[in-house]
Amino acid sequence: MQPGENEPTRSGPLSGPPAGPPNGPTKPQAGNNPAGPGFGPTQNTAPVTPPPPFPTNLAGFTPISVMVGSGFAAVYRAHDHKMGRDVAVKRLLPVRAADPQWRARFDAEGRIQGDPAMPAGVVHVYQRGDDQYGPYLVMEWVDGGSLEDWHKRFKGRGPWQECVRLCQEIAETMHKVHGLRYVHRDLKPDNVLLSNEGRTRVCDFGLARRLGTPAPGDPRTQQFAGMGTFGFAAPEQYLDFKHAGPKADQWSLAAILHKLLTNECPDIGHSSRSVACCDSVMRERGIPDHIRKAVCRALAYDPQDRFDSMADFCTAIGGSRSSRGRILAVAVAIVALLAIILALVSNWSEPASKSGVSAESKAAETVLTVPNTAATVSGSNLSILPERTPPVDSVIPASDLVTVLPGTFVMGQDGANAYSPKHSVEISRTLQVSRFEITQEQWFRVMGTRPWLAAGGRDDSRLPATGVTWRDAMEFCERLTQLEDSGRQYRLPTEAEWEYFSRGGSSSAWSCPEDQLAQHAWCAGSVGSADAPGPRPVGTRQPNPLGLHDVHGNVFEWCLDWFDPDYYLRSPAADPSGPLEPPAPADTETLAERVCRGGSWARNDVTCSSGFRFSASDEDSRSSLEFGFRVVAEDRGAPQAR
């Protein structure tokens, strides 16, 4: 069945036509993030995880409000009565608090940001604690937002002079951080906060390390290899995250500046052509030559080709330190001379003199220096840390593999069509199924390409990888198996396996009650008319009973099998894996098709049901935002499904 051909409909409140073009390039737009600004675009309207209680042993603090989303932490705004200030109290969600790897990351954030030697440009942690609900951090609070918020307010077109100033502040802060032998490893606009005075503060040191560490036993090296964040992580972080050094932070800051200047993440590549592309984009925006050259040098693939330090990068984008020093000296001299002259004027009142000099000095300080302003942490930014960082040695962490035990189920649906007749099927072996559809971040780590851009999509690390053909998905599985040291091998599920784990024990059309479909599915019948077309970040709606997300809608998921509309009439009762070869085509122009299941954001709810069969060719999927996949993991050496 070709996409869009003979798609069924169903009466009832959730029925409706496909939302927009089913197969052509469709560019989704960013929506609102319920977790607050700075956490990536999402149109999630599903309920979020309830926050853990305010720390029971934190006396003298009164909670004011709490923010929680779909990540791993929640943040309370609270008042510290002893110190007379508002603070942010951040703590792990219960599902993460019991995980030693997440606790290690949380502990690193508190320990590093609580180092009294940290510069004022880093968000300071006042206190660390623990109670029966897990660990928590007490830290500074600001009412300003993140650098990402600032960028969005200007719709990606902020004044280049201000963009450079902000990045100079970050560079000076990180130069001092590097002097303390810390490396951040996750610099991005979301992790830079702005005070109401417009001063930058760097936060979220959960992936940071001190040079010379971590030791082999550091729990974070077992789960958070990550590369930092897709689009802002240096190339070496994809290859050797454990040993990424200060020059990785330099690359990330250059990527931030590139994004602020052009509204685009830099084109990550392994050749000079990628850097040339970045230069071309900045040239089109009219960015001065010295800034373009500095950004391109800091974005070099080889760390040895970048600046020696953050201080050098800061100098290159904003003029030499000596020049700024001379300007400051001249400014101070002018202010002093002005004060002397004014003092000689007999009718100059004392209050006026103080006011005038103070204002003049403050203006000079604002323009020419990076003051030690006591800005603080934005609650909206700290509300949820998104799960964007994959594990250290695994693209798919063990915690994101769901164990599905063997069993028997009724496959298919009633009706005279390709998904009938109903028949009993046994799945005889235990499956390890990826909890989410494969994301852009995971795809890029393995394949190094971004096929969704050619299909009209946009970069967002938590969106499913789209523009992916069946052959592409198979190649991903092969490469991932070769890259990992986990002892696992990866493959696509068979059609029978997919329907088995999609149903999650349900015998009805969906894995959830029909009246709850809008909380579980991303399909045309359950997405509001105001929502922009396109896939949504994985895991933003409720999972099925097995804990698998997006089995109804979002994107079609490739299966191993060839598609044959008559296969159910002759399929085996145990572990069917599809026909040995595709059925004979009706004509020479008809391409062989593979099974894809689960429907998509552009299809109605019937198409997104557990038993509905769909098929497509590689040609259909190459330029579409409707096709993605999830994987099954097995022990290496296990018999392979055909």
Question: 């579980």: which residue's tokens?
Answer: 520
**Tokens describing residue 176:** 């001092």
Domain spanning 399-634: CATH 3.90.1580.10? yes
* 326 Cβ contact list (under 8 Å, min separation 6): none
pTM of the model: 0.51
Lowest mean pLDDT among 275-289, 323-337, 487-501, 545-559: 323-337
- With beta carbons less than 8 A apart as the criterion, state whether 75 and 67 touch: yes
**Tokens describing residue 9:** 């409909």
Strand partners, 458: none
What confidence tens digit (pLDDT) does each residue in 605-636 have?
888 889 899 999 888 888 899 999 999 999 87
Calculate mean pLDDT across residues 308-319.
91
Q: Dump the DSSP string for 420-459.
A: -S-EEEEE-S-EEEESSPPBHHHHHHHH---HHHHTT---
pLDDT at 507: 87
The Cα–Cα gap between 637 and 474 comes to 18
* 137 Cβ contact list (under 8 Å, min separation 6): 89, 90, 91, 106, 109, 110, 113, 125, 127, 128, 129
Assign 3-class secondary structure to 537-593: CCCCCCCCCCCCCCCCECCEEEEEEECCCCHHHCCCCECCCCCCCCCCCCCCCCCCC
What confidence tens digit (pLDDT) does each residue in 87-140 have?
999 998 887 888 888 888 899 999 999 998 999 999 999 999 999 888 999 999
Summary mean pLDDT of the chain: 76
Calculate mean pLDDT across residues 255-264.
92
Calculate mean pLDDT across residues 323-335.
42
The more confidently predicted of residues 7 and 51 is 51
Lowest mean pLDDT among 292-301, 393-402, 465-474: 393-402
List the one residue out of 420, 416, 411 whose CA is nearest residue 574: 411
pLDDT at 273: 56
Helices (runs of H) and strands (runs of E) counted in the chain: 19, 19
Lowest mean pLDDT among 51-55, 230-234, 483-487: 483-487
pLDDT at 105: 87
What confidence tens digit (pLDDT) does each residue in 2-15 have?
444 444 433 332 22
What confidence tens digit (pLDDT) does each residue in 183-238 have?
999 999 999 999 877 889 999 998 898 887 653 344 444 334 445 787 898 888 87
Does residue 253 register a pLDDT over 80? yes
Q: What share of the chain in percent tops pLDDT 70?
A: 72
Q: Among the ranges 141-145, 303-307, 478-482, 574-578, which has the highest mean pLDDT value?
A: 303-307
- With beta carbons less than 8 A apart as the criterion, state whether 539 and 550 touch: yes
**Domain ranges within the chain, ordered by starting residue:** 147-200+227-312, 322-368, 399-634
Does residue 391 register a pLDDT over 80? no
- Tell me the CATH number for domain 147-200+227-312: 1.10.510.10
Is omega for the bond preceding 214 within 30 degrees of 0, making it cis? yes
Whole-Å CA distances, 624 to 23, 456, 552:
5, 8, 18
Strand partners, 122: 202
pLDDT at 523: 86
pLDDT at 35: 31
Query: Environment class of residue 356 by beta-carbon count within 10 Å: exposed (0-12), middle (13-18) or buried (19+)?
Result: middle
pLDDT at 343: 45
pLDDT at 642: 56
Does residue 258 register a pLDDT over 70? yes
The Cα–Cα gap between 409 and 424 comes to 6
